[in-house]
Structure 1
Amino acid sequence: MIWDRSAENLKYPEEIRNKTFQETIHKESWIIEGVQYSAWTMESFIQSDMIIILNPSVYIRDYRIIKRFIKSRTGIEPWNYKQSIGNLIKMIVQWNHGYQLEKLLEVTNAFQHKRYIVRNRQETLKILQDHFLVGQEKS
């Protein structure tokens, strides 16, 4: 919704991003992935059935950021924007080590009944399995 993949370092204009976002959250089924929790994404928290917050260890996130950086720089994976050492440092120091889970919890506090915080894939799969099994029992 944010990156226009037709060119390097190109974001969609806010009007297009917001239109795509609204179209997505008004579909019967959808998943939105990302770290955006500002005003333009608030409606997704309201409309969602579940909010899953992935919160692995900061060192696991560092490893994944570095791994993705290497893969994008070597051409193994595509990227949304020009990858540079400056971007890598910003991702690790500002975005990862500066990540404020407390801020996200505050933003989603009204949705505690459907909010889950997980550290790994196994916890995520367990929550999804439990959610869908309960949903099937109600049918």
Structure 2
Amino acid sequence: MTKEFPQRIHIIGSVGSGKTTLARELSKTFQIPYYELDNVAWIRKEPGDILRTDEEKKEHLQSILQTNSWIIEGIHQEEWVVDSFQQADCILFLDTPYKVRIFRIIKRFMKQKMGIEKAHYQPTFSIFFKMFRWNKRFEQKGKPRFFKQQSDLLNKILVIQHKKDLNNFLQQF
């Protein structure tokens, strides 16, 4: 017996874990709009991005959460994001192996520098090195903090480490 596909999905994971790729694929397959939390946090402007205040972020996110279906993806787990975890039907935690994420960070940077892949930011060496630090910090602090903060939501969290985990999840629908 197949179930109905969740209509409100929150995808979280480190830099290079595959959040955006998965969100795009699920959005296309199930016709659910997806949103990047970075685009909730930042106002994208040609001369340079402007960081929204926490209140502005929360208001913008609330406008998304009020719709019937959404896929939200991002690394963020600050206070302004809490409602999206609580309102999600399903939380997909991408726990891609650390070395795979390192490889993806390098590959993404090279593609962006060659103009093959578009970025919402200027792909500088400064950002490139920050991604390694963000990845390590997420592994050491972000992941444990997430499971501690969301301990009351464990029944709707699915940890995905490998493609087979995702395939097992999708076969239910």
Give the TM-score range, shorter chain.
0.7 to 0.9
How far residue 5 of structure 1 moved from its aligned partner, in angstroms, is: 3.8
Aligned mates of 1:23, 1:129 — CA distance in 2: 31
What TM-score does the superposition give when structure 2 sets the normalisation length? 0.68
Cα RMSD of the aligned pairs, angstroms, is 1.8
- Shift in CA distance, 103/84, structure 1 to aligned 2, threshold 3 Å: same
Aligned mates of 1:115, 1:9 — CA distance in 2: 35
Checking the alignment, whether the CA contact within 8 Å between 2:91 and 2:156 is kept in structure 1 is yes
- Shift in CA distance, 80/11, structure 1 to aligned 2, threshold 3 Å: farther
The one of 104, 108, 122 aligned to 1:64:
104
Q: Unaligned 5+ residue runs, structure 2?
A: 1-39
What one-letter code is carried by the residue in structure 1 that aligns with 2:80?
W
- 1:119 to 2:161 alignment: yes
Q: Unaligned 5+ residue runs, structure 1?
A: 133-139
How far residue 103 of structure 1 moved from its aligned partner, in angstroms, is: 1.1
The structure with the largest alpha-carbon Rg is 1
Higher strand share: 2
- Shift in CA distance, 48/60, structure 1 to aligned 2, threshold 3 Å: same
Query: Residue 136 of structure 1 aligns with which residue?
Result: none
**SS of match in other structure, 2:73:** coil
Residues 24-44 of structure 1: CA deviation (Å, up to 9, x unaligned) = 112111110111111000001
Aligned mates of 1:2, 1:96 — CA distance in 2: 19
- Shift in CA distance, 129/19, structure 1 to aligned 2, threshold 3 Å: farther
- Shift in CA distance, 108/9, structure 1 to aligned 2, threshold 3 Å: farther
Query: Residue 19 of structure 1 aligns with which residue?
Result: 59
Query: Residue 134 of structure 2 aligns with which residue?
Result: 95
Aligned mates of 1:117, 1:11 — CA distance in 2: 33
What one-letter code is carried by the residue in structure 1 that aligns with 2:164?
Q
- Shift in CA distance, 70/45, structure 1 to aligned 2, threshold 3 Å: same
**SS of match in other structure, 2:63:** helix
Checking the alignment, whether the CA contact within 8 Å between 1:3 and 1:11 is kept in structure 2 is yes
How far residue 47 of structure 1 moved from its aligned partner, in angstroms, is: 0.4
Aligned mates of 2:135, 2:76 — CA distance in 1: 14
Checking the alignment, whether the CA contact within 8 Å between 2:96 and 2:160 is kept in structure 1 is yes
Residues 17-61 of structure 1: CA deviation (Å, up to 9, x unaligned) = 333211111211111011111100000111000011001111100
**SS of match in other structure, 1:61:** helix
What one-letter code is carried by the residue in structure 2 that aligns with 1:115?
I
Aligned mates of 1:11, 1:124 — CA distance in 2: 35
Residues 61-85 of structure 1: CA deviation (Å, up to 9, x unaligned) = 0011111111112211221222222
